[in-house]
């Protein structure tokens, strides 16, 4: 595994980072807890020492599964990344930006983006308990909240750094203006943003601004929630409550299939899967520090870790880039 420094922080993260959205089950058709625990530990055993989670993922379940899974492991050898600012329990009293309604276990929950100082402090204490740890390596604002000044949110995170409860501060889903505004008030370690062969918008402004200002980029959804694994085109059915039924509709699926058919021979030549090739390509893109990859079982965890071992020549990279640029 390759390990990379995150921006100006002292953190070194695994180039492939474990993404735990799916194991939370919310919007993913549920989860199998035993498989999730095995996926977490197998990831760590294969060098993926960085675990990214959030309270929203399963309304605390994802964090709890990570905390339970690693309770007997060397905490100093694991980097925990979590978030705050997506409130579902009504504790925001209607404050913040309404985001969406989520159906969970037969009940509807209104989700708000809320990043007030008081809420940051509250959520961190809850996350520490679920994660069974006394510090978080990287705390990230999950989504921008237009009702809370950026400086108020950053002030809260700086206080948490001073208290030793977090080691570094990051944001997520920030554009370049918001990102640089946040950095005026804190040593901003990173911005976690969507990036894949199918979504490259951050190449225009976010990545150049991050590179110039030494801010790390954490790329999420590099496999577009499984679409770029190719399994969807091989008849793998999704559960009715799986959000990907709607998510995939934003893409021209014929073009996506054509892309995968063009790059699959390279994966086969390397003895790799399509998902491994896509992950490797993503780790090589300018400005990208680490790449999130979810795993719901041991097999997926091992596959993700193996992506970094693929050796691509300049000619092979050119072939992949030509296929990506043809979209």
- Model confidence pLDDT, tens digit, residues 58-113: 899 999 999 999 999 999 999 999 999 999 999 999 999 999 998 877 788 999 99
Active site residue: 57, 112, 174, 220, which one?
Answer: 57
For residue 235, give every residue at least 6 positions away whose Cβ sits within 8 Å of its Cβ, in sequence order, or none.
none
User: What is the predicted pLDDT for the residue at 239?
Assistant: 65
Stretch among 6-20, 87-101, 229-243, 256-270 having the lowest mean pLDDT: 229-243
Give residues with Cβ within 8 angstroms of 161, minimum separation 6: 167, 168, 169
- % of residues, the chain, pLDDT over 90: 81
CB-hemisphere CA count at 13 Å for 143?
A: 16
Q: What is the pLDDT of residue 126?
A: 98
**pLDDT tens readout for residues 34-52:** 888 999 999 999 999 999 9
Could you read off the pLDDT of 148-202 as tens digits, one per residue?
A: 999 999 999 999 999 999 999 999 999 999 999 999 999 999 999 999 999 999 9
Average pLDDT over residues 207-211: 98
- The pLDDT score that the predictor gives to residue 105 is 75
Mean of per-residue pLDDT scores for the chain:
93
| Domains of the chain as residue ranges with CATH | 3-82+116-325 (3.20.20.100)
- State the pLDDT confidence band at 282, using cuts at 50, 70 and 90: very high
- pLDDT score at 247: 80
Active site residue 114: no
Which contacts qualify for 316-324: CB closer than 8 Å, 24 or more apart?
316/266, 317/281, 317/284, 319/262, 319/263, 319/266, 320/263, 320/266, 320/277, 320/281, 323/259, 323/262, 323/263, 324/197, 324/200, 324/259, 324/281
In the predicted structure, residue 310 carries a pLDDT above the cut 60: yes
- Note the pLDDT of residue 103: 83
Mean pLDDT of 255-268: 94
pLDDT value for 27: 54
At residue 30, the pLDDT reads 58
């Amino acid at each position: 595994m390759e390990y990379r420094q995150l921006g100006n922080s002292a953190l070194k993260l695994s180039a492939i980072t474990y993404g735990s959205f799916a194991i939370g089950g919310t919007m993913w058709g549920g989860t199998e807890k035993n498989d999730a625990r095995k996926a977490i530990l197998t990831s760590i055993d294969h060098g993926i020492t960085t675990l990214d989670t959030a309270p929203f993922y399963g309304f605390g379940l994802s964090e709890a599964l990570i905390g339970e899974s690693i309770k007997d492991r060397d905490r100093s050898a694991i980097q925990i990344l979590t978030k705050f600012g997506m409130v579902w329990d009504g504790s925001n009293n209607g404050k913040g930006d309404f985001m969406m309604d989520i159906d969970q276990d037969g009940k509807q929950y209104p989700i708000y983006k809320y990043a007030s100082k008081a809420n940051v402090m509250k959520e961190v204490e809850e996350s520490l308990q679920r994660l069974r740890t006394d510090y978080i390596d990287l705390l990230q604002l999950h989504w921008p909240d237009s009702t809370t000044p950026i400086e108020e949110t950053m002030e809260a995170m700086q206080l948490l750094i001073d208290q030793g409860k977090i080691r570094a501060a990051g944001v997520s889903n920030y554009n370049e203006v918001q990102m640089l505004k946040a950095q005026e008030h804190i040593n901003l370690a990173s911005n976690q943003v969507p990036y894949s062969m199918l979504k490259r918008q951050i190449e225009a402004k976010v990545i150049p601004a991050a590179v110039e200002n030494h801010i790390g980029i954490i790329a999420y959804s590099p496999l577009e929630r499984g679409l770029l694994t190719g399994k969807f085109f091989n008849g793998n059915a999704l559960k009715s409550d799986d959000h990907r039924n709607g998510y995939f509709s934003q893409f021209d699926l014929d073009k996506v299939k054509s892309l995968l058919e063009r790059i699959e021979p390279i994966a086969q030549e390397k003895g790799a899967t399509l998902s491994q090739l896509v992950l490797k390509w993503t780790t090589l893109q300018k400005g990208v520090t680490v790449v999130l990859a979810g795993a719901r079982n041991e097999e997926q965890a091992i596959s993700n870790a193996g992506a970094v071992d693929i050796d691509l020549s300049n000619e092979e990279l050119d072939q992949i880039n030509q296929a990506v640029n043809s979209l």
